[in-house]
Amino acid sequence: VYNFMKSSPEYVYVDEKMDSVMNKFEKTGAWNLPVVDEYRTYLGFVSKSKIFSAYREQLKQVSHD
């Protein structure tokens, strides 16, 4: 597996601000970034498409209010 794996260009902290996360997506061109805690323990990943979907849902709710 080691020969086929690719290390992540960046990671995000679980409590990191969204503007910082989006800057990391922009800087790296990645669609997925690993999420870590303060000890850099892997917790999961966040995808750019999930963030965009959640943002679109927020816009829909705000526009209906």
CA distance 26 to 10: 11
User: What pLDDT shows up at residue 36?
Assistant: 98
pLDDT digit string, tens, across residues 1-56 = 989 988 888 999 999 999 999 999 999 999 999 999 999 999 999 999 999 999 99
| Full-model pTM | 0.78
Which DSSP helix (H) or strand (E) runs through 35? strand 32-36
| C-alpha span between 16 and 1 (Å, rounded) | 30
Return the C-alpha torsion angle 39, 42, 46, 47, nearest 10: 130
Architecture of the 12-64 domain? Roll (3.10)
Q: Residue 53: its pLDDT value, please?
A: 93
Asked if 10 and 2 touch (Cβ cutoff 8 Å), the reply is no
